[in-house]
């Protein structure tokens, strides 16, 4: 069967001077049925813009989705629950009315700031009941029972009593559980989780990951996980896409990518992940930062930070280019347009079965 969600050549831009700023530049990825796909990268890489584009939650304007497809393959009718298969729908071209049927019902989203996402003036029960009443047409009593069940599923004690509580009466971890309960109350097929454990301590983070894993096993849920944390990826993901400066630079099954990363950026991110066997030395870090989308470096956008390109420039007599006043040099092929690829940007290539990387030196 086709993947539940397939994003093809997505390109999103924002107004800029003198030209539009490209935040997402030709991203393609898939989320399989009952699988977790992780989209990984530092802040500013375009991960959240990609996730918000799936449900067209970006304000347009200022955002503009220039091109691409977001194909959603659903085994149930999008306006009902019959079991007959339906053709895929392109969420970017679906009328607003049709998209509203999908939001919350078939695709749900959990944001990284639960307290900012929960309404402070309404009880938790009212907020969950609103979703199931709208999408499932339940009576108020049935919606209340569904809300109790949703809170019970995510491990909140005394769910019937806690329906009457407000968001500020829950801890950060419990707020995130409430957000997951609200997202899953209508039994969607796909959950988009945008940094769901960022603000939580390690023990609560582990509980949330265990919860997502058990809910996935229980209901066959598919998850698009947005994160910068490879520790979370190793716990939950089946497939991984690594994003840098608006582009996918590597993707592979999680075990393959974690075991033998190929792109220098992926290697650097993994090196920055704290380990239990660290000897107490300084944490590794990647010098510099993600480039401003309005002035990306030419060629491979990672070259100003790439240790591989710098090492090979020093160790060989190949053509090199000086990139700063400190005398740092990189291979010229990482910087300049040339006949093999007029844009200068390395394309994704399959270097081993199911393992793709965009790097001139691999």
- For residue 85, pLDDT beyond 80: no
Fold of 5-253: Rossmann fold (3.40.50)
Average pLDDT over residues 75-80: 49
Q: Residue 259: which residues within 8 A CB-CB, separation 6 or more?
A: none
Handedness of CA 271, 274, 275, 280 (dihedral sign): positive
pLDDT of residue 77: 47
Q: What is the mean pLDDT of residues 56-74?
A: 90
Predicted confidence at residue 235, as pLDDT, reads 87
- What are 161-214's pLDDT values in tens digits? 999 999 999 888 888 888 888 888 888 999 999 888 776 777 778 888 888 888
pLDDT (average), residues 255-259: 94
pLDDT average, residue stretch 256-263: 94
Q: What is the pLDDT of residue 214?
A: 86
- Residue 79 backbone dihedrals phi, psi, to 5 degrees: -115, 20
pLDDT of residue 302: 93
Statement: residue 76 has pLDDT above 70: no
Ranges of CATH 3.40.50.300 domains, the chain: 5-253
Q: At 56, is the pLDDT very low, low, confident or very high (cuts 50, 70, 90)?
A: very high
User: What does the chain come to in residues?
Assistant: 362
pLDDT of residue 81: 47
Distance between CA 71 and CA 348 in Å, rounded? 21
Does position 83 have pLDDT exceeding 50, yes or no?
A: no
Confidence of residue 78 (pLDDT cuts 50, 70, 90): very low
Residue 71, pLDDT score: 94
pLDDT band at 75 (very low <50, low <70, confident <90, very high): low
pLDDT of residue 79: 44
pLDDT at position 279 is 62
d(CA 253, CA 255) in angstroms, rounded, equals: 6
Q: What is the mean pLDDT of the chain?
A: 86
Across 228-253, average pLDDT: 93
Q: Which 8-state DSSP code applies to residue 297? A: P
User: What's the distance, Cα to Cα, between the start and end of the chain in Å?
Assistant: 32
From residue 72, alpha-carbon distances to 7, 87, 90, 331, 347 in Å are 9, 9, 6, 41, 25
Q: In whole angstroms, how far apart are CA 115 and each of 39, 48, 52, 175, 176?
A: 23, 18, 19, 7, 8
Q: Give the mean model confidence (pLDDT) for residues 232-261.
A: 94
Supply the DSSP string of 87-126, one letter for each residue. --EETTTS-HHHHHHHBTTTEEEE-S-HHHHS-TTS-HHH
């Amino acid at each position: 069967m086709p993947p539940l969600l397939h994003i093809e050549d997505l390109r999103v831009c924002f107004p800029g001077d003198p030209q539009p700023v490209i935040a997402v530049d030709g991203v393609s990825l898939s989320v399989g049925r009952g699988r977790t796909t992780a989209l990984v990268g530092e802040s500013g890489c375009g991960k959240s813009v990609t996730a918000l584009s799936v449900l067209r939650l970006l304000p347009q304007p200022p955002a503009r989705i220039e091109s691409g497809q977001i194909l959603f393959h659903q085994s149930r009718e999008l306006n009902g629950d019959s079991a007959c298969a339906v053709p895929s729908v392109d969420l970017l071209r679906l009328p607003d009315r049709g998209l509203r049927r999908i939001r919350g019902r078939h695709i749900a989203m959990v944001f990284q700031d639960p307290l900012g996402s929960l309404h402070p003036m309404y009880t938790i029960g009212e907020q969950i009941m609103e979703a199931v009443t709208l999408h499932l047409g339940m009576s108020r009593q049935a919606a209340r029972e569904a809300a109790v069940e949703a809170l019970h599923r995510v491990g909140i004690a005394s769910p019937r009593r806690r329906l009457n509580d407000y968001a500020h009466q829950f801890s950060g971890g419990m707020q995130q559980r409430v957000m997951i309960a609200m997202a899953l109350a209508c039994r969607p097929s796909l959950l988009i989780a945008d940094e769901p454990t960022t603000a939580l301590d390690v023990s609560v983070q582990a509980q949330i990951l265990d919860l997502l894993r058990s809910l996935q096993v229980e209901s066959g849920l598919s998850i698009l996980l947005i994160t910068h944390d490879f520790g979370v990826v190793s716990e939950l993901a089946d497939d991984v896409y690594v994003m840098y400066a608006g582009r996918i630079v590597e993707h592979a099954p999680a075990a393959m990518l974690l075991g033998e990363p190929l792109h220098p950026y992926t290697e650097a991110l993994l090196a920055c992940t704290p380990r239990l066997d660290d000897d107490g030395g300084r944490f590794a870090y990647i010098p510099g930062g993600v480039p401003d989308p309005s002035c990306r470096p030419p060629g491979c956008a990672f070259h100003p930070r790439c240790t591989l390109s710098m090492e090979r420039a020093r160790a060989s007599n190949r053509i090199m280019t000086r990139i700063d006043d400190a005398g740092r040099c990189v291979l010229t092929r990482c910087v300049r347009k040339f006949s093999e690829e007029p844009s200068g940007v390395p394309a994704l290539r399959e270097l081993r079965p199911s393992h793709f990387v965009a790097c001139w030196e691999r």
